[in-house]
Structure 1
Amino acid sequence: MSVLSNYMEKEKLLKQLQEELQALENNKELKQELEFKDALTALMTEYGKVYKDVCEMLDPSYTASKSGKKATSSDDGRKKRTLKVYKNPHTQEIVETRGGNHKVIQNWKAEFGNEEVVSWIIDEKA
């Protein structure tokens, strides 16, 4: 496609979008909704509230249903992993970790094998 034909196509799309936008601007329902939004925003500013506050006032279950968070979840909405405490019987070294990518644990697994290192878990906490 040549640059000129591409330009003409984009120009045609722009005119079409401008016509659609003009039709929306003349829509009575849209005007009412925009007025309501402006009035609501002004009220929220006057009372120091944000959208989340208003939604929670109108629907108390809004926070739980929209965020998906539970009481025992971390900041990103996922359940916290259990804390595992490993004790190396050869060196008596203790390592606490919530994930499987701990450098020391990975080194132990490479040296002694996964099954043996897993048997070194001395405590698990939620």
Structure 2
Amino acid sequence: MSRLSEFRALEEKLREQLQALEDMKQDKALQEEMQFETELRALMEKHNQSPQAVIALLDSNHRSVPEPKQPVSRKPRSTKRYKNPHTGEIVETKGGNHKVLKQWKNEYGAETVESWVL
């Protein structure tokens, strides 16, 4: 490409960009945004605040961090002792997820095994 054609191509791009800039200047939404920015900067200067301080202030209000919940503490489970009258075997457990206890409940029934509590 010759220098003259390169120059004319750049000149045309510049004209297009200048036209786009003029079109944007006429945009009402852009004008309102620019006015807002000007007023906001003046307000920040009046109150001696930086953009970071304003962002931090707005961000902290936006998040509304919930209060940390107090952990719910349950009363510790008491140990239950079961004695199988057929075998004499004793099982101690704090919950119902004990292997032998489950076997007994499957074999003899849950109500029967619960009656074996010591």
Correspondence for 1:17: 17
Correspondence for 1:32: 32
d(CA) in 2 for partners of 1:8, 1:61: 53
Correspondence for 1:122: none
d(CA) in 2 for partners of 1:45, 1:57: 16
CA RMSD of aligned residues (A): 1.6
Structure with larger Rg: 2
| DSSP 3-state at the match of 1:23 | helix
d(CA) in 2 for partners of 1:61, 1:5: 57
d(CA) in 2 for partners of 1:12, 1:61: 49
d(CA) in 2 for partners of 1:15, 1:52: 37
d(CA) in 1 for partners of 2:41, 2:61: 22
d(CA) in 2 for partners of 1:50, 1:10: 40
Gaps of at least 5 residues in structure 2 are 63-118
Gaps of at least 5 residues in structure 1 are 63-126
Matched, 1:6 2:27: no
Correspondence for 2:77: none
Deviation, 1:61, is: 8.4
Between the aligned residues of both structures, percent identity stands at 29
Give the length in aligned residue pairs.
62
Deviation, 1:22, is: 0.5
Counterpart AA for 2:5: S
Deviation, 1:60, is: 1.9
